[in-house]
Amino acid sequence: MLNRIWAPWRAHYIQLASTSLESAPECFLCRGLASQEDRENLVVERRLNSFVVLNRYPYNNGHLLVAPCVHRGTLGELEGAELLEPIETVRRMIAILDRMLRPGGYNIGLNQGRAAGAGLPGHLHWHIVPRWDGDTNFMPILGHTKVIVESLQEFYDRLLEELGRDQA
């Protein structure tokens, strides 16, 4: 689905993911949801059945994760609003990212199961990756720099401001 992007900062994430994160207390999504420290955990939005976090090891600027609030690893385990609300949230976040970053497109994807590439197989989450024409070409050089320069916290604050505006 995604073009291969050289992303050395993901090595840390892959290391973390290889230690088992099956159970909820060890799940960074559940931990973020249970904690009050939204900025520290990069939790952007909380809704009744879904929530949004910034990916700490992004493929691209603005890379978001949308997850159901329940710790479930397959779509078959979700019912009603648990299943439907995350998709509504994905659509809402895309509208926000359109205004903030004006990307040319998005990769929107769900990896179910470790064999499919899920780094956190116990807790489903949709990736939203903004894409720009040619970003695979300049990513190896600029991508890394951009992620470091526009820090996640800074982007987090911009996103929160934008969400506030959206709700007003």
Binding site for Zn ion (CB under 5 A): 24, 27, 29-30, 71, 123
Pick the closer one to Zn ion by CB: 29 or 159. 29
How far apart, in whole angstroms, are the C-alpha atoms of residue 52 and residue 45? 5
User: Which of 63, 71, 123, 125 is flagged as catalytic?
Assistant: 125
Q: Which is nearer to Zn ion, 72 or 144 (CB)?
A: 72
**125 given a catalytic annotation:** yes
Q: Closest approach of Cβ 127 to Zn ion, in Å?
A: 16
Q: Which is nearer to Zn ion, 12 or 31 (CB)?
A: 31
Cα separation, 2 vs 5, in Å, equals 8
CB of 123 to Zn ion, least distance (A): 3
25-to-31, 57, 82, 114, 129 alpha-carbon distances in Å? 7, 21, 20, 19, 27
| Least separation in angstroms between CB 55 and Zn ion | 15
What amino acid positions are annotated as catalytic residues? 125
